[in-house]
């Protein structure tokens, strides 16, 4: 498979899997059911599964049936388990529940459905994949590229909206309590004169540096609570992640993007005692430019939120 085939296979079976799941669940429930996390007509689990099975089938042509069954069992059950745990851990959503089935593991997988997946994998190998391969080879690279790019772009938009809604949205009923928790976490830092000085430096379009760090800190704090991470360390590290005192657009050291995290960390250490997590958040917030990856999930979260806020500042419209 070339790159066009890989992406086309992934997107095609993501859509085909959605159709299969809609048909199965809608019949069971007696009403239309849109499965999965995303709103659009695709299930990434099936796209990934099809790629795994296609690669496995290609490498097991001379293997006996027993060995192929074992491999398919491991691949399909492992993928279902990982997907179920990811959805529950990150988005607090239970996509399926096998708790009422015998020989289940925390409701994410069970022996009966693992058997179904193996049967489906064998059917995929013997019936679906050969026909799909013939069609795939007859399609032009341009068509495969346009189709896959369009669907993946829709998936990215869908997933971005999902992440925003699940991790960063704050319901009105809990907003006051959340604001109080946030202020308690960072209140002492906002009273420091060096932190207040950030209000005098432009940072991104239409924002001061203090505006930026407070926005990153709040969104990271909200997401950290939902992900059961150390929300206090996240908020405090984020408030201090851009603690430098120059207009980086017109002055300051050369290669600002590669150096300012060290400057901010040194300045923060002069002000307060930092925990290991807080220090890592400040030092790694520019990863992968920092080369050494974040040591903690809290650091990775702030890195992602900081990047998102920075991009949004420059692409949003002025009204």
Q: What is the pLDDT of residues 162-217, one digit of tens each?
A: 887 777 877 777 788 899 999 999 999 999 999 999 999 988 777 899 999 999 99
| One domain for residues 144 and 284 | no
CA distance 297 to 281: 9
Q: Which of 289, 279, 282, 308 lies closest to 215 in space, CA to CA?
A: 308
Note whether 199 and 139 are same-domain residues.
no
Residues 151 and 177 in one domain: no
Domain with 53, as residue range(s), is 3-166
Rounded average pLDDT over 90-96: 82
315 pLDDT tier (thresholds 50, 70, 90): low
Tell me, rounded to whole angstroms, the distance of Cα 319 from its chain centroid. Answer: 31
Domain edge (last residue) among 111, 132, 166: 166
Q: Residue 279 belongs to a domain with what CATH number?
A: 1.10.3210.10
* Residue 305 confidence (pLDDT): 92
Do both 182 and 219 map to the same domain?
yes
Question: Per residue in 27-42, pLDDT tens?
Answer: 988 898 888 888 899 9
Long-range contacts of residues 149-154, Cβ cutoff 8 Å, at least 24 apart: 149/7, 151/11, 151/14, 151/15, 151/42, 152/7, 152/11, 154/40, 154/42
pTM: 0.67
Query: 121 and 238 share a domain?
Result: no
Q: What is the pLDDT of residue 316?
A: 52
Q: Which of 144, 166, 188 is the last residue of a domain?
A: 166
Residue ranges of E strands in the chain:
104-105, 109-110
The total domain count for the chain is 2
Q: What is the rounded CA–CA span in Å between residue 187 and residue 261?
A: 22
Residues 160 and 267 both lie in one domain: no
133 and 215 inside one domain = no
96 with 188, same domain: the answer is no
Residues 6+ apart with CB under 8 A from 7: 144, 145, 148, 149, 152
* Contact criterion met (CB below 8 Å) for 25 and 66: no
């Amino acid at each position: 498979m070339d790159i066009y085939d890989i992406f086309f296979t992934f997107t095609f079976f993501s859509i085909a899997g959605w159709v299969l799941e809609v048909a199965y669940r809608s019949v069971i429930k007696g009403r239309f059911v849109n499965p999965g996390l995303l709103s659009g007509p695709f299930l990434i689990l099936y796209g990934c599964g099809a790629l795994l099975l296609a690669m496995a089938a290609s490498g097991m042509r001379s293997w006996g049936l027993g060995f192929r069954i074992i491999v398919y069992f491991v691949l399909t059950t492992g993928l279902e388990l990982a997907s179920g745990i990811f959805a529950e851990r990150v988005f607090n959503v239970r996509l399926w529940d096998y708790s009422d089935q015998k020989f289940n593991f925390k409701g994410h997988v069970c022996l009966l459905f693992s058997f179904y997946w193996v049967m489906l994998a064998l059917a995929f190998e013997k019936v679906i994949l050969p026909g799909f391969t013939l069609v795939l080879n007859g399609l032009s690279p341009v068509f495969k590229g346009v189709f896959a790019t369009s669907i993946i772009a829709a998936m990215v938009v869908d997933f971005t909206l999902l992440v925003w809604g699940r991790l960063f949205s704050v319901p009105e009923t809990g907003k006051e309590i959340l604001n109080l928790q946030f202020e308690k976490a960072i209140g002492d830092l906002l009273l420091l004169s060096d932190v207040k000085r950030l209000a005098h430096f432009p940072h991104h379009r239409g924002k001061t540096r203090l505006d930026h760090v407070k926005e990153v800190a709040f969104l990271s704090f909200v997401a950290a609570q939902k992900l059961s991470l150390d929300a206090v360390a996240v908020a405090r590290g984020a408030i201090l992640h851009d603690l430098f005192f120059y207009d980086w657009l017109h002055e300051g050291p050369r290669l600002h993007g590669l150096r300012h995290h060290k400057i901010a960390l040194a300045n923060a250490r002069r002000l307060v005692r930092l925990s290991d997590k807080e220090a890592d958040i400040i030092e790694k917030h520019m990863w992968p430019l920092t080369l050494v990856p974040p040591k903690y999930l809290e650091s990775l979260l702030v890195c992602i939120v900081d990047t998102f806020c920075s991009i949004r500042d420059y692409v949003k419209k002025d009204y």
